């Protein structure tokens, strides 16, 4: 199982931003998730067996990775940390002034953006539950 190590503005684990997705489909056993493809953007979504992540591609290139279970940075899994812990870990960062509130499964998640490293942190009950890079 590949480690999902976040490298700001570079990629996550074996998925570098801007690189071709095609070679990784067979190598890592990626499976297209047609119901998650985004018609408005033309993005194609893949999942990796055994890991709760989604890899989004556009024009055959990796453009975004959504991590729901593991997203490691400086030896810490960002999933499960508080927002304050992540801000301390990332160092000087600026969170979006007005986070978005989204209702999912009768629960609210607050989405914070850190534009300097192009990351979204989805927070439920004070804990980060999703990291989208």
Q: What is the pLDDT of residue 91?
A: 77
Distance separating alpha carbons of residues 112 and 123, to the nearest angstrom:
8
E strand or H helix at 47, and its extent? strand 44-48
The first and second tokens of residue 12, run together, are 């996550």
Domain boundaries, the chain: 6-67, 75-132
Per-residue model confidence as pLDDT tens digits over 37-87: 666 778 899 999 999 999 999 999 999 999 999 999 999 999 999 988 988
Q: How far is CA 57 from CA 41, 62, 64, 66, 97, in A?
A: 10, 4, 7, 12, 28
Per-residue model confidence as pLDDT tens digits over 4-32: 999 999 999 999 999 999 999 999 999 99
């Amino acid at each position: 199982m590949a480690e999902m190590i976040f490298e700001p503005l570079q990629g996550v684990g074996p998925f570098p931003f801007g690189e071709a997705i095609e070679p990784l489909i067979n190598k890592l056993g990626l499976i297209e998730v047609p119901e998650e493809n985004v018609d408005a953007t033309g993005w194609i979504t893949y999942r990796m067996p055994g890991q709760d992540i989604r890899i989004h591609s556009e024009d055959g290139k990796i453009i975004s990775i959504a991590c729901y279970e593991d997203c490691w940075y400086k030896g810490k899994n960002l999933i499960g940390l508080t927002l304050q812990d992540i801000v301390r870990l990332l160092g000087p960062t600026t969170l979006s002034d007005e986070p978005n509130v989204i209702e999912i499964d009768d629960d609210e998640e607050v989405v914070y953006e850190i534009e300097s490293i192009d990351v979204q942190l989805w927070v439920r009950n004070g804990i980060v539950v999703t990291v989208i890079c």
